[in-house]
């Protein structure tokens, strides 16, 4: 029964193999593309330099997104203050576009879900700043532009920060668009700096876990625990499928070997039977030898004997 279930799962995985390609992209990057779409929807007859607040679906409640359209030349020569981001003079976008859109993200209570760091706890929501081409405001799945500060760094002033535990040392953390994580010192009480775009937060090392609860109290499952449990189940299913395929191949090999052995055994039996049969006597005929029967079963008679 377990083997049949494993084969069924294998068929389902084959049917939905296209989803594997999608899942190869991290949830955070998929969310970036989704939030770019919702931010652009807010740009209806937009004016340059005005912040437009976007709306997200109910299943992403807690995330804030907005869009700001600017001229590339104006951004470089004047800079701009955008929410918690203080963008100085000298920021350059590559490749060059005439106008660009800066998409702001505040991931709120989703911060730890999309940007979980082992051994660290977020003291602030994760804030994102990404730049896109503004040539087509109805486009989706746009690639990000590369914006860099060439003179002074971009400052991020976190306005929603929880107090750090006593004795801990808060750190700035930057998640770039390629999955790398970079730590730096907090420049002031709640300010970080960067020369590039990405996602930012202030974190602190996690405190050691509290003692185990009393037997009568059962803690509820955490989202991270459920995620690990799901991953464990996936590996169990994959292992069952691989084991089922290996078992089928082994059984097929055994059946082929048994059939081959039976066929060879039958051939040897037939050859042996032929060898032990009655052999004919050999007689000399001139200079050669030929087989000859020892006698005949019916004695020949002359026709004259029948007549008499």
Asked whether residue 215 is domain-assigned, the answer is no
- pLDDT over 70 at 175, yes or no: yes
**CA-wise closest residue to 243 among 17, 15, 6:** 6
**Stated length of the chain:** 308
Highest mean pLDDT among 14-23, 119-128, 242-251: 119-128
Distance CA 278, CA 275 (A): 9
pLDDT at residue 279 in the model: 55
pLDDT > 70? residue 273 = no
Residue 282 maps to a domain? no
71 phi and psi, to 5 degrees?
Answer: -80, 140
- Alpha-carbon dihedral angle through residues 193, 195, 201, 207, given to the nearest 10 degrees: -80
- Distance in angstroms (rounded) separating the CA atoms of residues 51 and 42: 10
Which residues are within 8 A (CB) of 283 and not within 5 positions of it... i.e. 6 or more apart? 289, 290, 291, 292
Distances from the Cα of 125 to the Cα of 45, 86, 110, 159, 199, angstroms:
31, 17, 8, 10, 10
List pLDDT tens digits, range 140-152: 999 999 999 998 9
Q: Is residue 217 part of a domain?
A: no
| Region 66-84 average pLDDT | 97
Question: What are the angstrom distances between the C-alpha of 177 and each of 32, 73, 282?
Answer: 10, 24, 96
Distance CA 302, CA 37 (A): 117
Highest mean pLDDT among 23-27, 105-109, 204-208, 275-279 belongs to 105-109
Beta strand segments in the chain, E: 51-53, 64-71, 80-82, 85-87, 91-94, 99-106, 120-122, 127-133, 146-149, 154-157, 171-175, 181-185, 191-194, 198-205, 281-285, 288-292
Q: Which strands, in side-by-side order, build the sheet including 85-87?
A: 80-82, 85-87, 154-157, 191-194
What pLDDT sits at residue 4? 45
Report if residue 56 sits inside a domain: yes
Which residues are registered as beta bridge partners of 237?
none
Summarised one tens digit per residue, pLDDT across range 280-291 is: 566 666 666 666
Task: Say what percent of the chain tops pLDDT 90.
Answer: 55
Residue 258: how many other CB atoms lie within 10 Å = 10
User: Does residue 81 carry a pLDDT above 50?
Assistant: yes
Tokens 């030349």, residue? 73
Is residue 123 situated within a structural domain? yes
The CATH number of residue 87's host domain is 2.60.220
Closest Cα partner for 171 from 138, 205, 148?
205
Whether 57 is covered by a domain: the verdict is: yes
Proportion of the chain above pLDDT 70, given as a percent: 70
Tens of pLDDT, residues 214-267: 555 555 555 565 656 666 776 787 777 788 888 888 888 888 888 888 877 777
- Worst-scoring range by mean pLDDT, 25-39, 139-153, 195-209, 267-281? 267-281
Structural domain tally of the chain?
A: 1
Mean pLDDT of the chain: 82
The pLDDT of residue 18 is 40
Q: Would you state the pLDDT for residue 3? A: 45
Contact between 188 and 161 (Cβ < 8 Å): no
285 within domain boundaries:
no
Q: The pTM is what? A: 0.61
Domain carrying residue 53: 28-205
Which pLDDT score, from 0 to 100, does residue 91 have? Answer: 96
Name the least confident of 16-20, 208-212, 216-220: 16-20
Is 40 within the bounds of a domain? yes
Q: Provide the pLDDT for residue 53.
A: 97
């Amino acid at each position: 029964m377990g083997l049949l279930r494993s084969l069924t799962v294998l068929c389902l995985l084959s049917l939905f193999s296209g989803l594997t390609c999608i899942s190869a992209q991290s949830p955070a990057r998929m969310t970036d593309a989704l939030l770019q779409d919702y931010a652009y929807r807010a740009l209806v007859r937009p004016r340059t330099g005005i912040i437009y607040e976007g709306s997200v679906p109910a299943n992403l409640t807690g995330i804030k997104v907005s869009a700001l359209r600017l001229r590339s030349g104006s951004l470089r020569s004047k800079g701009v203050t955008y929410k918690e981001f203080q963008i100085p003079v000298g920021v350059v976008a590559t490749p060059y576009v005439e106008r660009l859109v800066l998409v702001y993200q505040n991931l709120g209570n989703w911060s730890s879900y999309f940007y979980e760091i082992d051994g660290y706890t977020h003291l602030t929501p994760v804030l994102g700043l990404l730049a896109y081409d503004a040539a087509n405001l109805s486009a989706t799945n746009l690639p990000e532009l590369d914006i860099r500060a060439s003179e002074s760094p971009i400052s991020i002033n976190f306005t929603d920060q929880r107090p750090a535990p006593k004795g801990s040392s808060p750190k700035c953390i930057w998640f770039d668009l390629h999955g790398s994580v970079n730590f730096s010192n907090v420049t002031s009480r709640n300010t970080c700096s960067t020369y590039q775009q990405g996602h930012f937060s202030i974190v602190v090392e996690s405190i050691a876990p509290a003692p185990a609860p009393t037997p009568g109290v059962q803690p509820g499952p955490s989202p991270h625990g459920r995620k690990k449990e799901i991953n464990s189940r996936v590996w169990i299913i994959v292992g069952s499928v691989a084991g089922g395929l290996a078992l089928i191949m082994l059984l097929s090999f055994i059946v082929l070997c048994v059939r081959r052995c039976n066929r060879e055994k039958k051939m040897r039996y037939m050859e042996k039977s032929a060898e032990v049969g009655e052999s004919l006597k050999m007689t000399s005929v001139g200079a050669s030898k030929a087989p000859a029967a020892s006698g005949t079963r019916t004695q020949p008679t002359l026709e004259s004997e029948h007549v008499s």
